[in-house]
Every structure is written in C-alpha cells, then in structure tokens.
C-alpha cells in the first residue's frame, strides 16, 4: 500500500515547501512545523520526482529570477532597517512611560495608607517641635512623594538606551547576514540549475520577513543583561499588561541606529 505523505496533507505545506526551497535544514523545518525530519526528507524526495515534468530554467528565466530576487533582497534589507528603528522607538516609549497611583487599585490603596501615615506622624512631629520651641515655619516636616518612574534618572536612561541600541544593532547585523546567506544559497541554486522553474520562483519569493529575523525587544530583555536593572526587569515583567501608563507625549526614536537621542529631563 502506498504511504500517504503527511507533509502533502499538512495545512502549512506551502510554508514547508518554501522552507525547503530556502534550503533550510530538515531538522529546523521539522521542529518549526511539528513533523519528523524523516517525513520532510520523504516529502522532498517525492516532490522533486513530481517536479521532473516541470520545465528547466532557461538562461533568460535565470536572469529574470535573479533580478527579481535581488530586488526582493534590497526591499528586505530596507525592512530590516525600518524594523530595527521601530524596535528602538518602541523601547524609547517604554522608557518614557509614567505611572500614577490611579493606574492600579492596589497602588491607589497603598498610596492613600502611606499618606495617612505620614500625615499622622507629621502631626506628632509638629507637636514635638512646639514643645521644643521650634517655630512652625522652621520646623522639619515629613512628606510623601511618588516617583512616576523608578528608573527615570537621566544617567540610567542613557545607559539603557545604549544597551538597547547595542542589542538592536547586533540583531540587525545578524538579520542582514542571514538574508545574504539565504539569498546566496538560492542564487547559487538558480545559477547551477538546481531548481526547476516552479521551485525557483517559490525560492526567490521566500526570503524571511523582518519580523521573523528581528523579534520584539522589551525593557526586560535589556535590563536582564544589566545587573543595575535586574530587579526592574522582574517588576516590569510582573506588571506588563496590567497597568495602563499615563498618556504622556513621547519623542521619536533616533533616526540613526547606535546614536542615542539627546537626553532631556522628564517629570519624576
């Protein structure tokens, strides 16, 4: 009995065929799509057999495909640059997020209790100063303050910006290198006749996206690499998605990667 190809029946067969066209390792494809490397190998073998009826590329078709692929590579590189700048912009927005006690019921309760405590003990302090003959206008006072950003000191912001820029630049370089490597493999396969026309068209259109090559960057990702901000990283992860930041204006990210924006003193 002929064995049915599980990959042919897979709901993501198109994506699997595209990954094969990119010459991705069987193991990587198997992990990504939840099938076995052996199934990927069998599918590739019978797909290549079925493709024998597909016409070979002519010299003109090769040139055209290479031109199209190079245009797509150029566009993909621009998307990588835009994605990297966007990651820095998102990170800058995170740095400039301010929190109010009104953002959370527990924060509001704790602040109210702390305010009552300070008011009560400041009254006791006032009484003691009166007993000691210290004039009211000159006496020491107890007060409560709220810092809307626990890490908002300028030197800390600058350090975090530099770390984020370093990380994003490294990600950007790695993404561009991977694009070049993927395209190099496809280019070689087209030139050497290793792909028939249908497979070559699929391969030329299957460069990975900027989002796949540059995943999102969070405050926790950057802070985790810096001992000064390790505790902040844990707090950010614990509260992310549960606190609504104040709607305060933010500045755009720096246009040039690796060039932190000029620091400005913000509300504390």
pLDDT tens for 82-121 read 999 999 888 887 777 677 788 788 988 999 999 999 999 9
Residue-wise pLDDT for 148-170, tens only, equals 765 555 667 777 888 888 889 99
Residue-wise pLDDT for 171-216, tens only, equals 999 999 988 888 887 777 777 765 556 566 666 667 778 888 888 8
Instruction: Verify that 218 and 265 share a domain, yes or no.
Output: yes
pLDDT at 223 over 80: no
Instruction: Verify that 134 and 157 share a domain, yes or no.
Output: no
**pTM > 0.75:** no
In-domain check, residue 161: yes
Q: Mean pLDDT in the chain?
A: 74
Smallest CA-to-CA distance from 198 within 32, 50, 37 is with 50
| Per-residue pLDDT band at 229 (split at 50, 70, 90) | low
pLDDT at 226 over 90: no
Instruction: Verify that 181 and 79 share a domain, yes or no.
Output: yes
Instruction: Verify that 115 and 183 share a domain, yes or no.
Output: no
**Exposure string over 75-102, b if 16+ CB within 10 A, otherwise e:** ebbebbeebbbbbbeebbebbbbbbebe
Q: Domain total for the chain?
A: 3
Domain containing 19 equals: 1-53
Largest Cα span, the chain: 104
Mean pLDDT of 120-146: 92
| Per-residue pLDDT band at 59 (split at 50, 70, 90) | confident
Distances (CA, A) of 54 to 30, 195, 198: 26, 10, 7
In-domain check, residue 128: yes
Contact between residue 122 and residue 140 where contact means Cβ atoms under 8 Å apart? no
In-domain check, residue 231: yes
């Amino acid at each position: 009995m002929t064995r049915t190809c599980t990959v042919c029946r897979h709901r993501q067969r198109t994506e699997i065929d595209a990954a094969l066209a990119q010459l991705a390792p069987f193991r990587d494809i198997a992990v990504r799509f939840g099938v076995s490397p052996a199934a990927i190998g069998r599918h590739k073998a019978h797909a290549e057999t079925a493709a024998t009826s597909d016409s070979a590329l002519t010299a003109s078709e090769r040139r055209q495909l290479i031109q199209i692929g190079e245009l797509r590579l150029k566009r993909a590189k621009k998307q990588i640059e835009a994605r990297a700048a966007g990651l820095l912009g998102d990170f800058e927005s995170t740095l400039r997020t301010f929190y109010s006690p009104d953002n959370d019921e527990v924060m509001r309760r704790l602040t109210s209790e702390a305010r009552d405590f300070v008011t009560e003990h400041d009254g006791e302090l006032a009484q003691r100063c009166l007993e000691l003959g210290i004039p009211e206008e000159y006496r020491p006072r107890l007060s409560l303050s709220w810092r809307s950003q626990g890490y908002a000191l300028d030197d800390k912001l600058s350090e975090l910006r530099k770390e984020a820029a370093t990380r994003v630049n490294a990600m950007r370089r790695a993404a561009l290198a991977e694009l070049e490597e993927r395209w190099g493999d496809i280019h070689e396969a087209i030139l050497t006749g290793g792909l028939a026309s249908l497979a070559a068209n699929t391969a030329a259109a299957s460069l990975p996206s900027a989002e796949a090559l540059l995943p999102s960057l969070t405050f926790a990702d950057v802070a985790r690499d810096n001992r000064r901000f390790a505790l902040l990283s844990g707090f950010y992860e614990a509260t992310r998605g549960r606190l609504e930041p104040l709607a305060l204006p933010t500045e755009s990210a720096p246009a040039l990667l690796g060039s932190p924006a000029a620091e400005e003193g913000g509300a504390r």
